[in-house]
Amino acid sequence: MAALGTENPTLADLAKVTDPDGTIADVVEILNQTNEILEDMTWMEGNLTTGHRTSIRSGLPSPTFRKMYGFVQPTKSRAVQVTDNCGMMEDYSQVDKALVDMAGNPAAFRLQEDRPHIEGMNQTLATKIFYGDESTAPEEFTGLAPRYNDLSAENGDNIIAGGGSGSDNASIWLICWSPNTVHGIIPKGSKAGVQQRDLGEVTVQDTVGSSSGLMQAYRTHYRWDVGLSVRDWRYVVRICNIDRSLLTADISTGADLNDLMHQAVTEIPNTAIGRCAWYMDKQVLSFLRRQTANAVSNSTLSMDNVGGTMQTSWGGYPIRRVDALRTNEATVS
C-alpha cells in the first residue's frame, strides 16, 4: 500500500502550509484538474534558495569475518552530494479594462482569463518534469529523460528498452514519489504553486503598430519557482524505445507493453515506500488496454471508481495520461 498523503505532501498540502489565506490553494485546485501528475508528486521545500542539495549514499561499509585473535579494519560508507536547481517560470496577462467593466461579474471574468495562462504554465511544467535539461537551457531545471538516457549508465538497470530503433519512439514511466526517493522542490523560503498577483489597472502602450497609442487594461503577474530532485534513482523506471509504428493490439509486432511493465515493477526496490504511478501518453495507453483485452492470462489492468472518477490502474498503481510526453523520442542506447 502506498504511503499516506500526510507523509508524502502534494502541492495542495504544501500550498496550504505556506500560504494561510488560501488564495494559492484555489489555483492549485485548477492545476490538479488539468495535470494528473500533480496529484501524485510529493513536494518539499528545498534547503537552498535556488534549489535543493541532497546527500546520496554511494557506497556501503564492508564487514569482515574475523577469526579468534584476528583484527578488523574499520570501514565507512561513501556519500556524494547532488544539487538540483529550480527554474523560474513567469507570465503576464492583460485584459482590456473596457471589456472587464462590461462583464456582469468582473472578478469571475478575469478568473476565466487567468485560466489559460495557468494552464500554459501547467503544461510547461509537465513537459519539463520529463524533458527539462539545464545543459541546453540553463534557465530550466533538469527533468527525468536526461537523467535516464543511457543504457550503460549506473542507473541503466532502470532503463528498459522496448525494442524500437526509429525516431517515433514513446516512453512509459513508473515513478515512486516520496521525500526519500523523488520529489518536486520549491526554493527555500518560497511559496508553493503558482504565485498569482493582481497588478490592477495599468496603462499599456502599443508597441506593434506604427503609432504609439495607449490603452487601459487590467494586468496579472504569474510566477512559479519549481524543480525536481531524484534522491534515489532506483525509484524511477523508464521503459523507452517503444516504436509507435509497430504497436499492435495482438502483439504480432512491436512492444509487448504488459511484459515490459512487469519488468519495470521488478526494478523498484520497495513500492510501499511512497506513492507509485505510471505515466504514458494516450496512444500508448490505448494499445495497453487493447493488448490486455486480447491477453489469454489474467489481467493486471483494472478500472475502479475512486472518489467518483473512473481510474485505470496496472498492478495496483494508477495510470496517468500525460499528453506532454513526446511522440517522437529518439532511440535511447
- Which triple of cell numbers denotes residue 248? 499492435
Q: How do residues 214-235 score in pLDDT, each as one tens digit?
A: 889 999 999 999 999 999 999 9
Residue 112 backbone dihedrals phi, psi, to 5 degrees: -65, -35
Give residues with Cβ within 8 angstroms of 111, minimum separation 6: none
Q: Residue 287's pLDDT is what?
A: 95
- Count of positions (residues) in the chain: 333
Give residue 118's pLDDT: 84
Angstrom distances, CA of residue 122 to CA of 155, 164, 170, 261? 29, 30, 21, 27
What pLDDT sits at residue 24?
Answer: 47
Give the β-pairing of 43-45 and 195-205. unpaired
Per-residue pLDDT band at 35 (split at 50, 70, 90): low
**70-117: pLDDT as tens digits:** 888 888 877 778 899 999 999 998 889 998 888 888 888 888 788 888
Task: Write down the H helix ranges in 103-236.
Answer: 106-131
The DSSP code for 167 is S
Q: Is 128 helix (H, G, I), strand (E, B) or coil?
A: helix
Contacts by 10-16, CB closer than 8 A, 24 or more apart: 10/38, 10/39, 10/40, 10/41, 10/42, 10/43, 11/38, 11/41, 11/43, 11/184, 11/192, 11/193, 13/43, 14/43, 14/44, 14/45, 14/186, 14/192, 14/193, 15/191, 15/192, 15/193
E strand or H helix that includes residue 149? none
Q: 205 versus 149: which is more confidently predicted?
A: 149
23-32, 138-147, 256-265, 292-301 — which is least confidently predicted? Answer: 23-32
Angle at 51 between CA 49 and CA 57, to 5 degrees: 125
Does 284 have pLDDT greater than 70? yes
Higher pLDDT, 295 or 282: 282
Q: What is the pLDDT of residues 288-310, one digit of tens each?
A: 999 988 876 667 888 776 666 77
pLDDT at 306: 67
pLDDT at 117: 85
Provide the mean pLDDT of the chain: 85
How many Å is the maximal CA-CA distance in the chain?
95
The residue among 191, 185, 179 whose CA lies nearest residue 17 is 191
pLDDT of residue 184: 95
pLDDT at 1 over 90: no
Q: Pull the grid cell for residue 122.
A: 501547467
- The percentage of the chain sitting over the pLDDT mark of 70, rounded to a whole number, equals 86
Residue showing cell 515512486: 176
- Give the residue with greater pLDDT, 319 vs 20: 319
Residue located via cell numbers 522542490? 185
The DSSP annotation for 13-64 comes to HHHHHH-TTSHHHHHHHHHHHH-THHHH--EEE-SBTTEEEEEEEEE-----
Provide the pLDDT for residue 3: 42
pLDDT attached to residue 221:
93
pLDDT digit string (tens) for 40-59?
899 999 999 999 998 777 67
Q: Name which residue leads in pLDDT, 20 or 74.
A: 74
pLDDT tens for residues 110-136? 887 888 888 888 889 999 999 999 999
What is the value of pTM for the model shown?
0.83
Residue 162 near residue 242, CB atoms below 8 Å: yes
Rg (CA), the chain: 24
Q: Sheet containing 301-306: give its strands across.
A: 159-161, 236-243, 169-177, 275-280, 317-321, 309-314, 301-306
